[in-house]
Amino acid sequence: MSISTIVEELKKNISAFEKQVETAEIGMIVEVGDGIARMSGLTKCQSNEMLEFPGNTFGVALNLEDETIGAVLLGEYKHLKEGDIVKRTGRILSVPVGKELIGRVVNPLGQAIDGGAEIISKTFYPIEKIAPGVMSREAVSQPVQTGIKAIDAMIPIGRGQRELIIGDRQTGKTAVAIDTIINQKGQNMICVYVAIGQKESKIARIVAKLKESGAMDYTIVVVAGASDPASTLYIAPYAGVAMAEYFMDQGKDVLCIYDDLSKQAWAYREISLLLRRPPGREAYPGDVFYLHSRLLERACRRNKESGGGSITALPIIETQSGDVTAYIPTNVISITDGQIFLESDLFYRGIRPALNVGISVSRVGSAAQIKPMKKVAGKLKLSMAQFRELESFAQFASDLDAETKKQISLGQRLVEVLKQPQYEPMPAANQVAIIFAVSNGFADNIEVKKINEWEIKFHEFINRSKSVLLEKIGAGNWDEAIEKDLKSACEEFAKKQ
Amino acid sequence: MKKNSPRQYGIAFWQATRGLKGADLGLAISNFVALLARERMIKKSDEVIRSFIQYAKEQDGVEDIEIISAHPLSDKVINSIKNIFGNKVDAIQKTDASLIGGVIIRTRDKILDASIKSQLNKLKQSLI
């Protein structure tokens, strides 16, 4: 463009510029530090309103007291001092939402932190929103295939359900979540992974793994790292669900993973104590239940009249020494529609995923399973429960009757088959096939130690030669003909061994 | 028991001395000072007095405004600004050359920015 045209444009823009007198309601900082600020003035400030501090810093007004306002600061606050002017923005804290966020790693304010292009979004959603009411919801009936045999068979998760993943440190909670995300490829789901208070190195590894598996094509990663201020950790899950709600409003299905909510509760406790709110049990503020309940209630399945779509929530809670009777774990257990218990001693015994099937529950259950899985895995939980009762007798195997021996042998093989390596989610049809094979005795002659090898060969076999059958099963079909076909496939494989 | 803030003392003092005159007023004042001494608030007396003045002004409907301009303003301009805010206005004037022109008016809880400096800033934001 020539210089004269540029000058013309500039002159046009300048003359079109409308002078406006800016009015802002203000207050003055009285005290600032530790991520919170107290202001005088701001007489018309509303609760949870976003406030603008000098230096383009924002904060949320949490405490509306008689003479001061207590606000939590989102971002750097070293440049703030007593006497600085604070302005009202008149709106609730909102985050940018939209398709531009998919595949990106962002902070809870929607700013890109993966070194890529700046995210410019036209739509903003408030982070606090009232959850959909009773009449706009629908019962959960579509499955979320996690790709993990133990979960899809015995503790199935549906679209719109909230399922808690709870366990001690290093038991594989994040692994379950990541495998679920990886398995959503081709399942028409958008995933939002909210990392709260995690080590940045762990998050980098997770993002690299998701990129490698092609999962970033449908995933948004929201990061509030361990070194971020407590206010950022506090709003991170709400920012994640706001981004998910944008897609739900378009009728899509979204999976939201909050890893983990224990750290969000700690961050909320920190800012509440700094704001001098009275501490309750374990020094948590009185409304720590509401902190999690209003987050998790926004995960639902909406009926068609209200726009359709669903948000499935997988919150993660870390327990200390397996204590699920502590304050936060009991709170979140009572909010969610089921829990997946991961135990350290199962993990060390080699059972990975370290799922305790006995106390894990999915309150949606088989309503969220495809028909073949329902048929095949129906008795699985019962067999496992019977096996667990008899497990201690397995040492005296020679002194038992045939019936008990059979149950123990089946149980041991089922336990082997339900083990699964990390980052290897299995398609639903293959899961149905292997569980069918083992439950109907096709692995009875294989040594327990060699079951894993046998399983690998089994999958190779059916993937190679029975792909039509697998497709039919994967689409949710199940009748006598398919069952017969599957049985003959297993017999064929058994003969080959 | 929660300690009372200096502002609460100022407000209480205003409410106690409403309509008092002469000897009654003198008695109220000396009692109040004794109260401050008992509650160990003498050190905060500056704040108490400030809150008292501010609260009294609020109750009487007197607006406190601060007019910041780039150059000293004539009385006519100041009076017309005062008139915008009603009859009873206490105005403090300041000059700040960095505003280039125009005026910033600060009331107790609002700020009206009509300075050339902010207009230029907004123009800059809209152009880039």
Sign of CA dihedral A28, A33, A34, A38: negative
Q: What is the pLDDT of residue B103?
A: 85
Tell me the β-bridge partners of A40. A28, A68
**A125, A109 Cβ separation under 8 angstroms:** no
Nearest chain A Cα distance for residue B18, angstroms = 22
- Residues A384 and A373: their CA atoms lie apart, in Å, by 16
Q: Give the distance from residue A88's alpha carbon to the nearest chain B alpha carbon, in angstroms.
A: 10
In which residue ranges of chain A is pLDDT below 50? none
Q: Region B23-42: what's the mean pLDDT?
A: 87
Taken in order A422, A428, A430, A435, is the CA torsion positive or negative?
positive
Buried b (16+ CB within 10 A) or exposed e, A449-464: eebeebbeebbebbee
Q: Which of residues 93-132 of A touch B (CB under 8 A)?
A: none
Between strands A68-74 and A36-41, the pairing is antiparallel
Predicted local confidence at residue A489, as pLDDT: 92
- Residue pair B28/B35 in contact (Cβ under 8 Å)? The answer is no
Judge: A22–B123 Cβ closer than 8 Å, yes or no: no
pLDDT at residue B4 greater than cutoff 90: no
Taking the model in full, what pTM does it have? 0.87
Option in B7, B109, B127 nearest A67 (CB)? B7
Establish if A42 touches chain B: CB-CB under 8 angstroms: yes
Q: Is B117 exposed, middle or buried (0-12, 13-18, 19+ CB in 10 A)?
A: middle
Q: What pLDDT sits at residue B65?
A: 85
Closest to A372 in 3D by CA, of A415, A457, A434, A456 = A434
Task: Write out the catalytic residue numbers of A.
Answer: 363
- pLDDT at residue B39 greater than cutoff 80: yes
pLDDT, tens digit (0-9, with 9 covering 90-100), for A376-397: 998 888 889 888 888 877 776 6
Tell me if A26 and B112 make a contact (CB, 8 A cut-off): no
Interface predicted TM-score (ipTM) of this complex, two decimals: 0.71
Three-state DSSP state, A352:
coil
What pLDDT is stored for residue B70 in this prediction? 84
pLDDT at B1: 57
Q: What is the pLDDT of residue A461?
A: 93
pLDDT given for residue A459 in this prediction = 94
